[in-house]
Structure 1
Amino acid sequence: MAPRLNTQALIKQIITDIRASELADDHGKFPAEPELMQRYQVTRYTLRQALKQLSDMGYTYQSHGVGTFVRPPQAQNSIALQHNGGLSEEVARQGRELKTKIAHKRVVTVSDAEFLPDNYQLDPTEQLIEIQRFRLLDNQPYLLEHSYYLQSEIKVIPNEALYGSLFKYLERQRATQVSFIDQLIMSEPLPADAGEFFELPTGAPSLVVRDDSYLSTGNLLAFSKQYYDYRIAKLFMVKKIH
C-alpha cells in the first residue's frame, strides 16, 4: 500500500489537480469530503487541514452548507504571501523552482546589523548569524534575502542549508520551529549588491518584505528583508471577510 499523503503533499497534489481541471465540476465545486478522502487516501483530519490552508492561500473558498469551490485564478505567476511553509515550497507547488545562486554567512553583533526589528529590543552585544542569499526563480534573478538569526536561539546553520530550504532545516530542529511571522510590505531604495544582481541602478525603488519570525515561546528567532525584482515579482494575498 502506498504511504498516506501528509498535509503539505496533499495540498501540492490538490493544486496540481485544480490546475489540470481534474477535480472541480463545471461550477468549480469540489467533490464531497468522503469522495476526496477516497480519491487521495487520506484521513478526514488531513483533508480538512489541507482545505483550510488552501482557503487561506487563496486557491479555494467554502460556502457554508454547500461545499468547497475553486476561486477564480490568481494573478498569473503570483506568490501567495499567506502560505504555510517556506517560499521554496510555495513556489514548488506551482511547478516552478526557486534556488540560491550565491550565499554568504558570517557572525556579527546586533550593533553591526544593517537593520533591526521595529518592535523587539535586542542587546547590542548579542550575536547574530547574518545570511545573504541571492535567489533565482526559474533561473532569473528574483530575490535577495538578507536575514539575521539570533545565535541564542540557533547555534549553527550549515552551509548546505543555505542552498536548500532554510525553512525545512529550521522545522527539523525542534527548538527552532517557527510559530508565527509578522510581515510588512514596503518600498526602499535598492542596495548596491541587490542592484548588481538584478541589473538595476543602486537606489532604484525596490519592493521589500520585512519578516520577523517568532518561536512558540514568543522569542524572536530571526528578522529579515527580502528585496524583490519589481519587474517580475507579484505577491498575492486574500482578505477574508466572513
Structure 2
Amino acid sequence: MPFSRRTFVIALLLGAASPTWAQSQDKATQVREAFASPYGKALTAELGKSLRASADPACLTDKGLAADQIEPRGRDIVITWGTRMLEGASAFIDRQNSDNPFAGAAELESLKSNPDVKRYLAMEEPIRQAKILDLIFEHFDRHNVIARVKLGAVYPLETGNEALLRLNPTDATEERLETFAGKSRSKALKRFLQLSDQGAIAQSAAIKKASSPPPLPHTFFKDVESDLAELCIRSGK
C-alpha cells in the first residue's frame, strides 16, 4: 500500500485524539467510557447477536458457555484489542508530534480551563466516543475478514444497519455544537476552536513527515481470533 494511503488511514485515528478532543484520560478509560455510552451499548448488543449466531453450538456445550455469557465476554475482548489499536496508533502520532511540536499547544491547553471551552468539550464528548467506537468496530471487522474469522460484521456503515446508524449521535451533536459556538460571544472559545483547527493541520503535516509508514489500523487486531476461539468462533476455510 502506498505511503500516502497509509498516512491517510492512520490519520483517521486522529479523530479520536485531535487537539479539540485531547483529554487527560488514558486510552483504556476512553474506550471503556465509549462502550458505556448509549451508542456503545447498542453496538455491544449487535456484537452479542453476531457472536451468538456465529458460535459453534457443540463447542459452546463442551465449554459450558451460556448464551448470556457470550456478549459481555465478547465486549471485553473488543475493548481490550480496540484499546491496543488506539494506544499503538497514538504512540506513533505522539512521536511525530514530539518531533514536530505545534506552536500553539500551550495556549490551547490553557484555554481548556475556560468555562465556555469546558462546556463545549463536554457537549462534544458523544462525537469523540462515537468515533472511537466506529474506528474500533470498522477495523475489528476488517481484520476478521482478512483472517477469515467466521463472525458477522458489526460496523453499521459496512452492514447498512439503519437502526444502528440512527443511534450514532454525531450529526445531532454537531448541530448543537454549531449552534452553541455560533451564539457564543466567548473570545476564549473562538480562539480555542481556531487553535484546534490549526493544531489538526499541524498534526496531519507531522504525520506526513514520518520516515517510515505507520501500521495499518486493522493490524493491531492480529491474533484476536485466538480470544474469539474461546467463545467458539471459528477461523479459517
User: Structure 2-normalised TM-score?
Assistant: 0.25
Q: Which has the higher strand share?
A: 1
User: Structure 1-normalised TM-score?
Assistant: 0.25
